[in-house]
Chain A
Amino acid sequence: MTEPLRPRAIGTSLARLDGRAKVTGTAIYAFEQPLERATYLHPVQATIARGRVTAVDTATAEALDGVVAVLTHVNAPRLASTDDAELAVLQSDEVAFRGQFVGAVIADTPEVARHAASLMGVSYDEQPYDVQLRADRDDLYAPEVVNPSFPTDTDDGDVDAALESAALTVDQTYSTAMQHNNPMEPHTTVAIWNDDGLTLYDSTQGVHAVRTTVAPVFGLDPERVRVIAPHVGGGFGSKGMPHAHVVLAGLAAQVTSGRPVKLALTRQQMFSLVGYRTPTIQRVRLGADSDGHLAAIAHDVVEQTSKIKEFAEQTAVSTRTMYASPNRRTSHRLAALDVPVPSWMRAPGECPGMFGPEVAMDELAVACGIDPIELRVRNEPATDPESGLPYSSRNLVGCLREGARRFGWDRRDPTPAARRDGGWLVGTGVASSTYPAYRQPGSVANIRSGPDGRFTVRIGAADIGTGTWTTLTQIAADALDVPVEAVDLQIGDSALPMATVAGGSSGISNWGSTIVGVARAFRDKYGPDPADGSETEGETPDNPASERFAMHAFGAQFAEVRVHADTGEIRVPRQLGVFAVGRIINPRTARSQFIGGMTMGLSMALHEHSVMDPSSGHVVNHDFAEYHIATNADVGDIDAVWLDEHDPHLNPMGSKGIGEIGIVGAAAAIANAAYHATGTRVRDLPITADRFLP
């Protein structure tokens, strides 16, 4: 058990400390740093999916007034390391996917850079390519591990025999679409290369992650790379690690004689360069007795990666721990395609991986004639089925029950297609939600006392909209036993002490634990009245409890769906999420995280689909007009609440991460509600109007 922090600021709805800057638009994002003599970079992208660049005509572009430099694979500065093929920008003539960088123009103005880039004539030797994910491909392979380091396959008990003898079975294939993170702030890097080394104003979820990744690529000591990101316009995983554009900006900055190079990818360019969620094809088999007790679960996933760099989404991992079943099998198989590199997108693994199984559970509930909540309750495990460890806390049942009460579930008639309101068929659905309580070592915090009882707390953490500026201040205040007004937090700069990336819903757990540990050491050393300039620095403390307990957050998602009987239009007038996530640091920002995740889940359920066109080899709906994300009008009455969960094993704050669980299960709840509304079972996302038409 970690020594719990006495909460005073923690648990209060402190308004965002960066609120004023954001509502006036004066918070400075990466592209907005006031810099003298800046240049603008516009990339040139490959228009073939595989092959070689045979020639680039740069003369017309170079002759244009205002062009500072033109880069191609021929003249671009050499990188010190090309081990990461995604980051080996302009180092060879090879084209591995359509949209890859094959050149760039640096100019005095954005207008000239864009125009010049359009004048670059690139010739190719085009080779056959392959961009189609199918479950029946004969070249699927098993990766060594799945993201980040889970076993690829698991097999416990005898699934086949259990399915054979089960009274009831579900055997269906589900699919989730390719999706793009699409944070509102485009991926942006402003690079300055001078005698001090490389400075990057970058839109990133982790300034230190960028520094440690990029420094060896350029052959620089990490100390000579500085990354600054005080405000980040969303990331959702795509800004979790540096992508090729960061390297391109760094290359360009080497040829501008110290002038800053500004690069913001266009929305269209983001569809081929900054990662995406792989499409998944999931076969789910459930076997149960007539009372709905699971005897077997099998979850076999097919997904894609790129040929140049492997990313294996851990889609079936949540199935390993979700429900009690003596026989369990999961597998992941990949198709390596001539496509951009897939990567993290909000709740990689859990988000797509809880779609298939949670719809399958709904199908099993129908087959058993058991309420879908009751079915889940009956399959609640006493300990983690995967590890055998006890859960530090697991309140899935509590979430389901509380949600049922709030949502009016007891009035639900399970009969599908039995409710109509005007032209609309109405239904409700439920699904479970889960996300691991990850924790990583390696963050460092520095606390220094100033005059007038103030404290400066320094850690290279990130606020990507999650509320870090506010919540870490609350944690630091409680850790130092001072009011929040006495804390000056500094984050978002690699000149600050090392911090883990804002990912895996682990930021607050990692950074907060570190700050608490350092604050305690500070007080131990300097007492309640430290002299001005007293200072303590330290690393994330160990948590031995993580060896003894399985640590996961849980939740229940409820949705009401309406499907128009004539047109098939689908709407979600009501969503409720109930979560059990340990202690909530800040109810105001926490609720935003939950409903934000649920809204993105709605968007995934109804809208999001990156259309990979096999005949052109790229995502053709590459803008916000064609790649739909939910608008304001798509979201109805949405709310999130949480149980009062006390878990002393997690960290001093008693908190689990909350950035991702909100999206997990949301799409399944909507799909289940759509079935309840219409009697049509849609197993492939997104659920669009045409699914309900003949």
Chain B
Amino acid sequence: MIPFDYQRAADGASAVATVTRRPGAAFLGGGTNLVDHMKLGVADPDLLVDVTRLPYDAIEQLPGGGVRIGATVRNSDLAADPLIRSRYPVLSEALLAGASGQLRNLATTGGNLLQRTRCVYFQDVTTPCNKRQPGAGCSAIDGWTRNHAILGASEHCVATHPSDMAVAMAALDAAVVVLGADGERSIPLVDFHRLPGDEPQRDTVLEHGELITAVDVPALGFAVRSAYRKVRDRASYAFALVSVAAALDIDGGVVRDGRVALGGVAHKPWRATRAEERLRGAPADDATFAAAADAELAQARPLRDNGFKVAMARNTLVAVLRDLAARDQGTKDRP
């Protein structure tokens, strides 16, 4: 870890101005990912601007029925919020499936979105990585790829995005509110994270100095019937092999509308638009759910060690949709 300066931000605009001016500066939230990376040598900011005390810590109802989540709201508080739990259970469940109780107490909404991949080669500065050092080469492609992408990867990077929360937000059509030197802009969450392409060093579309101030989740009535299912190698405290965030609107045995996103399968939270297309207007049965999953996963390109993710994602998606469809009759599936 190199020496760095530390400032506590006085307000959003000055924080943005400070970081924008200094190429080596970074915002500090809960620190659960950034400090980790600083210790590993993956990140080496020379100035940290601490934004945790800025007034972005509220969860507010928006006109029109949506919710604005402040960027510094802690993951645990967001998961426990009554409004979120009642209107967007998928979001609460996703948060609770991530990390641990004590990490969720530190981690912020904005920081969660900016988590970087858990690719072991990215985290090890002694192995080449295009994301860390563009042009260095990708160690993962010919290495250990059990946890890597099956969708949307490139020859330069096969990493996955680790967030659970962002998967739920992708399904919910959330938008990221960002403050930059030129003012505020709103970025649809599905466009916020990038696919690696030939610039895997860029996880998101944020410009240096732009600060996440909030995430807006629009009204989505049928999200009361939503769920997050995470499949991982341990029962808890592990990153997803595959996860599914979904919401279903069913009327008279027919799917009126649906929202589906996948986690653990791509460089970004993967909004499953092809699956959603198959769902709309189709009978709410296993055949539809399987067809939807197959439609989405037809584009999967597994690597040496992660072929299982295709079947796992397919089966998990079908299971989640089946559970949601049967929601009134039963409860969650657990051991």
Given A115-B1, A422-B333, A615-B142, check contact A631 B236 (CB 8 Å): yes
Which of A562, A566, A628 interacts with B315 by CB under 8 Å? A566
Q: Is the CB of A634 within 8 A of B234?
A: yes
Contacts of B7 in A (CB 8 A): none
Q: Is the CB of A689 within 8 A of B120?
A: no
A-contact 0/1 string along B172-189, CB 8 Å cutoff: 000000000000000000
Contacts of A118 in B (CB 8 A): 1, 41
A680 at the interface (CB under 8 A from B): no
- How far is A634 from B237 in the complex, measured between Cα atoms in Å? 10
Contacts of B121 in A (CB 8 A): 616, 620
Q: Is the CB of A566 within 8 A of B318?
A: yes
Say how far B56's CB is from chain A's closest CB, in angstroms.
Answer: 28
Say how far A571's CB is from chain B's closest CB, in angstroms.
Answer: 5
B118 at the interface (CB under 8 A from A): yes
A588 at the interface (CB under 8 A from B): no
Q: Is the CB of B236 within 8 A of A115?
A: no
Which of A111, A423, A566, A632 gathers most chain B CB within 10 Å? Answer: A566
B312 at the interface (CB under 8 A from A): yes
Contacts of A567 in B (CB 8 A): 231, 242, 312, 315-316, 319
- How far is A573 from B239 in the complex, measured between Cα atoms in Å? 22
Contacts of B238 in A (CB 8 A): 625, 628, 631
A-contact 0/1 string along B151-183, CB 8 Å cutoff: 000000000000000000000000000000000
Say how far A202's CB is from chain B's closest CB, in angstroms.
Answer: 25
Q: Is the CB of A688 within 8 A of B236?
A: no
Q: Is the interface of B mostly helix, strand, loop or mixed?
A: loop
Which of B3, B144, B308 interacts with A613 by CB under 8 Å? B144
- How far is A615 from B138 in the complex, measured between Cα atoms in Å? 11
Cβ-closest chain A residue relative to B123: A623
Given A569-B231, A633-B234, check contact A693 B1 (CB 8 Å): no
Q: Is the CB of B126 within 8 A of A47?
A: yes
Contacts of A568 in B (CB 8 A): 308, 312
Q: Is the CB of B120 within 8 A of A626?
A: yes
Contacts of B120 in A (CB 8 A): 620-622, 626
Q: Is the CB of A115 within 8 A of B2?
A: yes
Q: Is the CB of B143 within 8 A of A607?
A: no
Q: Is the CB of B143 within 8 A of A424?
A: no
- How far is A620 from B118 in the complex, measured between Cα atoms in Å? 12
Find residues 371-424 in chain A having any chain B CB closer than 8 Å to their own CB: 422-424
Contacts of A52 in B (CB 8 A): none
- How far is A413 from B159 in the complex, measured between Cα atoms in Å? 45
- How far is A562 from B333 in the complex, measured between Cα atoms in Å? 13
Given A562-B335, A690-B308, check contact A621 B236 (CB 8 Å): no
Q: Is the CB of A111 within 8 A of B236?
A: no
B-contact 0/1 string along A589-630, CB 8 Å cutoff: 000000000000000001100010101100011110110101
Say how far B141's CB is from chain A's closest CB, in angstroms.
Answer: 10
Contacts of B136 in A (CB 8 A): none
A16 at the interface (CB under 8 A from B): no
Q: Is the CB of A688 within 8 A of B233?
A: yes
Cβ-closest chain A residue relative to B317: A566
- How far is A628 from B237 in the complex, measured between Cα atoms in Å? 9
A73 at the interface (CB under 8 A from B): no
Which of A47, A571, A688 interacts with B335 by CB under 8 Å? A571
Cβ-closest chain A residue relative to B99: A625
Given A422-B333, A620-B121, check contact A607 B234 (CB 8 Å): yes
- How far is A626 from B40 in the complex, measured between Cα atoms in Å? 15
Find residues 162-182 in chain A having any chain B CB closer than 8 Å to their own CB: none
A78 at the interface (CB under 8 A from B): no
Contacts of B319 in A (CB 8 A): 423, 566-567
Contacts of B10 in A (CB 8 A): none
Contacts of B139 in A (CB 8 A): 613, 615-616
Please count how many residues in chain B sit with their CB below 8 Å of the partner chain's CB atoms.
Answer: 38
Cβ-closest chain B residue relative to A621: B120
B241 at the interface (CB under 8 A from A): yes
Which of B120, B121, B237 gathers most chain A CB within 10 Å? Answer: B120
Contacts of B239 in A (CB 8 A): 625
Q: Count A-B contacts at CB 8 Å.
A: 96
Say how far A71's CB is from chain B's closest CB, in angstroms.
Answer: 20
A451 at the interface (CB under 8 A from B): no
B235 at the interface (CB under 8 A from A): yes
Say how far A304's CB is from chain B's closest CB, in angstroms.
Answer: 18
Q: Is the interface of A mostly helix, strand, loop or mixed?
A: loop
Q: Is the CB of A689 within 8 A of B231?
A: yes
B-contact 0/1 string along A111-155, CB 8 Å cutoff: 100110010000000000000000000000000000000000000
Say how far B164's CB is from chain A's closest CB, in angstroms.
Answer: 14
Q: Is the CB of B118 within 8 A of A615?
A: no
- How far is A66 from B39 in the complex, measured between Cα atoms in Å? 18
B86 at the interface (CB under 8 A from A): no
Say how far A118's CB is from chain B's closest CB, in angstroms.
Answer: 6
Say how far B327's CB is from chain A's closest CB, in angstroms.
Answer: 15
Which of B39, B144, B333 interacts with A620 by CB under 8 Å? B144
- How far is A357 from B6 in the complex, measured between Cα atoms in Å? 59
Say how far A131's CB is from chain B's closest CB, in angstroms.
Answer: 13
Which of B235, B311, B316, B335 interacts with A424 by CB under 8 Å? B335
B14 at the interface (CB under 8 A from A): no
Say how far A24's CB is from chain B's closest CB, in angstroms.
Answer: 19
Say how far B173's CB is from chain A's closest CB, in angstroms.
Answer: 27
Q: Is the CB of A693 within 8 A of B41?
A: no
Cβ-closest chain B residue relative to A111: B1
A-contact 0/1 string along B101-130, CB 8 Å cutoff: 000000000000000001011011011000
Contacts of A114 in B (CB 8 A): 1, 39
Contacts of A689 in B (CB 8 A): 231, 233, 241, 308, 312
- How far is A607 from B139 in the complex, measured between Cα atoms in Å? 24
Which of A114, A620, A634 gathers most chain B CB within 10 Å? Answer: A620
Find residues 217-245 in chain B having any chain A CB closer than 8 Å to their own CB: 231, 233-239, 241-242
A-contact 0/1 string along B304-335, CB 8 Å cutoff: 00001001100110110000000000000111
Say how far A132's CB is from chain B's closest CB, in angstroms.
Answer: 13
A694 at the interface (CB under 8 A from B): yes
Which of B142, B146, B231, B236 interacts with A634 by CB under 8 Å? B236
- How far is A564 from B144 in the complex, measured between Cα atoms in Å? 25
Given A567-B319, A633-B236, check contact A573 B335 (CB 8 Å): yes
Cβ-closest chain A residue relative to B239: A625
Contacts of B333 in A (CB 8 A): 422-423
Cβ-closest chain A residue relative to B309: A690
Which of B146, B315, B334 interacts with A693 by CB under 8 Å? B315
Cβ-closest chain A residue relative to B333: A423
Q: Is the CB of A613 within 8 A of B1?
A: no
Say how far B47's CB is from chain A's closest CB, in angstroms.
Answer: 16
Q: Is the CB of A693 within 8 A of B311?
A: yes
Q: Is the CB of A616 within 8 A of B234?
A: no
- How far is A566 from B143 in the complex, measured between Cα atoms in Å? 28
Find residues 38-53 in chain A having any chain B CB closer than 8 Å to their own CB: 45, 47
Cβ-closest chain A residue relative to B128: A616
Say how far A274's CB is from chain B's closest CB, in angstroms.
Answer: 18
Contacts of B241 in A (CB 8 A): 689
- How far is A694 from B242 in the complex, measured between Cα atoms in Å? 15
Which of B127, B139, B234, B319 gathers most chain A CB within 10 Å? Answer: B234
Cβ-closest chain A residue relative to B318: A566
Cβ-closest chain B residue relative to A573: B335
Contacts of B124 in A (CB 8 A): 620, 622
Contacts of B118 in A (CB 8 A): 625-626
Cβ-closest chain A residue relative to B307: A690
10 interchain residue pairs of minimum CB distance: A690-B308, A633-B236, A633-B235, A566-B315, A566-B319, A47-B126, A693-B311, A620-B120, A571-B335, A567-B231
5 CB contacts below 8 A, A to B, read A616-B139, A625-B239, A626-B147, A631-B235, A693-B308
Given contacts A114-B39, A615-B139, A628-B234, 20 further A-B contacts (CB under 8 A): A422-B334, A564-B335, A566-B316, A568-B308, A568-B312, A569-B231, A573-B335, A616-B121, A616-B139, A620-B124, A620-B127, A620-B144, A621-B144, A623-B123, A628-B233, A631-B234, A633-B235, A689-B231, A690-B308, A694-B311
